[in-house]
Chains A and B, each alone.
Chain A
Amino acid sequence: MKIHEYQAKDIFEQYGIPVTKGRMARTAQEAKIIAEELGSTVVVKAQVHVGGRGKAGGVKIAHNPDETYSIAQTILGLEIKGLPVKKILVAEAVEIAKEFYVGITLDLSVKKIVFLVSKAGGVDIEEVAATQPEQIIKVYIDPLLGLQPFQKRQMAYALFSKKDHIHQAMDIFEKLYRVFCGLDCSLAEINPLVITPTGTETSTLLALDAKVVFDDNGLIRHPELEALRDMDVIEEEDEVEARNNGLTFIKLDGEIGCIVNGAGLAMATMDIIKLFGGEPANFLDVGGSSNPNKIVKAFQIILKNKKIKAVFINIFGGITRCDDIANGLLEAHKQMDIHVPVVIRLAGTNEEKARTILNSAHFSAYASMEEAVTQVVELAKRGQA
């Protein structure tokens, strides 16, 4: 699960990582008030779940509250890589002497947590990795030992030369690691981590940006993090509704709605529909248990998509019992108007029982995937004509 920069900064602050002051705004007026409170030059930053905000015009400096208002208005009207900007972060702007990159992620090829640090901060780190890999220092953490002091020194000495900065950096590495492990992250990133200019005041390290992605499986340990999920992201609304009902749903572009049990079979079903000349409208996995209500819910969710011309139910019963699926389908028919043809393919646990249930209600189900897919693709095409 992705969260926004302003949320990640709140988390960093709770863990003691120095961040710039600022708050989230939904309107230009709110942005202006925040700028007044901060009383300094501010940076206005679009809060969307994609990279490259700066290049898209989603990050701008404002020198006073009035300018903040007009810049906020502009940014709130933007669409960045297809995502409308509905929130902005207004944060104090700081002078920068130098920018660094610090990130923690998982390297699944070696099954370890890895620290990535670089003197090339403030730019797209994946580009750096591709063009100047020598600029990135990788430090692998043994999961059974955790982050060791020598590893923090290794990274701090590689990036900084002043004693103060080295100490601050080691402290930040430790705290970022605590964020990563403490909240079951799959990414915790500061890009850039900056040093402010040396002058009369003390030069210090600050996290100017923050990015955190949570491991979806880890959320079960941190139910409070669910509150950080951005409900404004329209695309996710159905996905959340599905998840709350024990389903996994992902919307696609085609015209054949899919209801399948098991993730692998659900993907394979989409692939076969395409192979036979159709286009899947969604991925939907009803999961392992077989509660008839899940089928009702699945229909409710996929039929919201007006492009759908036919529905394909493909079930290979294991834990999922075919008769539960059949009962679910009948229940769905009772509760709503299913205005498109439904093609059913059933195999596995309680298949015969399911056929009896369906036949008594004048439905029929295929046993062969090939026949069923051929049929559903044909019906969807007819529906489009």
Chain B
Amino acid sequence: MTILIDENTKVIVQGITGRDGSFHAKGMRDYGTKIVGGVTPSKGGQDLEGIPVFNTVRDAVDQTGANASVIYVPPLFAVDAIYEAVDAGLDVVVCITEGIPVLDMLSVYHYIQHKKVVLIGGNCPGIISPGKCKIGIMPGNIHKEGRVGVISRSGTLTYEVVNSLTQAGLGQSTVIGIGGDPVKGINYIELLKRFQADEFTDTIVLLGEIGGSDEEAAAAYIKQYITKPVYSFIAGKTAPEGKRMGHAGAIIAGGKGLAVDKIRILEEAGVHVLDRPDIMGNVIRGGQ
């Protein structure tokens, strides 16, 4: 078992005829994900190597029975794509797009509070349940089926850690990149809750970075509700104040959002915080 997605998840790709959309649609299908269709307005009726393309998400859902979608459309069109996916009643919507204006995401955030959908992202690598389903852009081959759940604000840093887990013989139940933007869909707490409840996850890895207060909120939740061991790495100890470190949400402002504070608060909540990500696998294996 996994959280959010599994081998039965049927996925459509919004923006499937674009450069990134087509490349990753094929990549996901090759991994074994059930890619049942794609959406590009005005290209309905075409196909991408046998994957049918529809004009609207609703058409795609009606005709394929899809229950999840992944969005590869440019930033100014991404929120419309999210709304369209939510409106069509999908369970999981993954938004890969980077660079969505924060005001657009505020509206999305409040709109989805009243919906059953789980939105992952934007500005994220996606979600993967190794061996079952990959929705996103991560390299599938570094993953391995297993019992560690991973939640991260980053992309490549997640790959680094997943690689270290796999090398140490530790597989993953589900790996989720929640995205590097300040306003996004699902966050640490909701995922911690799901991993805690998932009988196939033994250990949780939480990867964070400077900026915002999501790690602090996660720490408070862990202290109260999480009994499974949690390991962490927080990137950006050496980041200067007032500079946006690549991710829109990664900024220390007014002395807030510092790595040292996040590390301290997580440690106080009983989380094992490592000072480097590349040894995560060995540390967890040693601790078990």
Residues of A within 8 Å of B125, CB to CB, are 318
Is there contact, CB below 8 Å, between A318 and B236? no
- Encoded as 1 (CB less than 8 Å from any B CB) or 0, chain A from 71 to 99 comes to 00000000000000000000000000000
Residues of B within 8 Å of A225, CB to CB, are none
Min CB–CB distance A140 → chain B (angstroms): 11
Residues of B within 8 Å of A348, CB to CB, are 139, 142, 159, 163
Is there contact, CB below 8 Å, between A265 and B110? no
Is there contact, CB below 8 Å, between A266 and B246? yes
Q: A318-B139, A348-B142 are in contact. Are A263 and B238 (CB under 8 A)?
A: no
Min CB–CB distance A227 → chain B (angstroms): 19
Is there contact, CB below 8 Å, between A217 and B183? no
Is there contact, CB below 8 Å, between A267 and B238? yes
Give Cα A108–Cα B250 distance, bound, in whole angstroms: 13
Q: A250-B243, A267-B209, A268-B277 are in contact. Are A318 and B156 (CB under 8 A)?
A: yes
Cβ contact of A126, chosen from B76, B254, B275, cutoff 8 A = B254
Cβ contact of A111, chosen from B101, B183, B213, B275, cutoff 8 A = B183
Min CB–CB distance B234 → chain A (angstroms): 9
Give Cα A144–Cα B107 distance, bound, in whole angstroms: 6
Q: A263-B246, A264-B152, A318-B159 are in contact. Are A181 and B103 (CB under 8 A)?
A: yes
Q: Which residue of A lies closest to B122 (CB)?
A: A217
Cβ contact of A215, chosen from B103, B137, B157, cutoff 8 A = B103
Min CB–CB distance B65 → chain A (angstroms): 29
Residues of A within 8 Å of B107, CB to CB, are 143-144
Q: Does B244 contact A (CB under 8 A)?
A: yes
Q: Among the listed stretches A32-40, A60-68, A272-280, which one makes contact with chain B, having 4 or more residues with CB under 8 Å of it?
A: A272-280
Give Cα A261–Cα B155 distance, bound, in whole angstroms: 9
Min CB–CB distance B261 → chain A (angstroms): 15
Which residues 127-175 in A have Cβ within 8 Å of B in the complex?
A: 142-144
Is there contact, CB below 8 Å, between B238 and A274? yes
Residues of A within 8 Å of B237, CB to CB, are 271, 274
> What secondary structure prevails in chain A residues at the interface with B?
mixed
Is there contact, CB below 8 Å, between B243 and A221? no
Residues of A within 8 Å of B163, CB to CB, are 316, 347-348
- Encoded as 1 (CB less than 8 Å from any B CB) or 0, chain A from 185 to 227 comes to 0100000000000000000000000000001111011000000
Min CB–CB distance B115 → chain A (angstroms): 13
Q: Does B153 contact A (CB under 8 A)?
A: yes
Q: Does A252 contact B (CB under 8 A)?
A: yes
Q: Which residue of B lies closest to A348 (CB)?
A: B139
Min CB–CB distance A265 → chain B (angstroms): 4
Is there contact, CB below 8 Å, between B247 and A218? no
Q: Which residue of B lies closest to A186 (CB)?
A: B102
Which residues 88-141 in B have Cβ within 8 Å of A in the complex?
A: 98-103, 106-107, 109-111, 125, 137-139
Min CB–CB distance A82 → chain B (angstroms): 12
Q: Which B residues have a C-beta under 8 Å from some C-beta of A?
A: 20, 75-76, 98-103, 106-107, 109-111, 125, 137-139, 142, 152-160, 163, 180-183, 207, 209-210, 212-213, 233, 235-240, 243-248, 250, 254, 259, 275-279
**6 further A-B pairs in the complex, CB-CB below 8 A; given A111-B110, A143-B110, A264-B154:** A144-B111, A218-B102, A264-B153, A268-B235, A347-B159, A369-B278
